[in-house]
Amino acid sequence: MFEGLFQPIHLLLVILIALLIFGPGKLPQLGEGLGRGIREFKKALAGTDEVKTIDSKAGQEEKKEADAKVK
């Protein structure tokens, strides 16, 4: 059913339609925004463990500071 869905001619057709809809001036901005979004998404997926670790370390430091102020 979907055999040969992403052939080069299909990709050229999609690019041509995008060029007609958005124009040549907006196309680089759209590509840049899409690339930035993909990079941020990958960073968020890769950094979920790091964020938890950083948050727990920051929480421990704040707790130590609060304990020191109480004493």
Tally the domains of the chain: 1
Considering the domain boundaries, does residue 59 fall inside one? yes
Q: Which domain holds residue 65?
A: 38-71
When pLDDT is cut at 50, 70 and 90, the band that residue 1 belongs to is very low
Considering the domain boundaries, does residue 46 fall inside one? yes
pLDDT of residue 58: 61
Considering the domain boundaries, does residue 68 fall inside one? yes
For the segment 10-59, what is each residue's pLDDT rounded down to a tens digit? 888 988 998 899 888 888 898 899 899 999 999 988 876 555 555 566 66
Question: How distant is the alpha carbon of residue 45 from its chain centre?
Answer: 9
DSSP codes, 24-48: HHHHHHHHHHHHHHHHHHHHHHHTH
Considering the domain boundaries, does residue 2 fall inside one? no
Query: Rounded to two decimals, what is the model's pTM?
Result: 0.45
Amino acid at 34: L
Considering the domain boundaries, does residue 24 fall inside one? no
Higher pLDDT: 38 or 61? It is 38
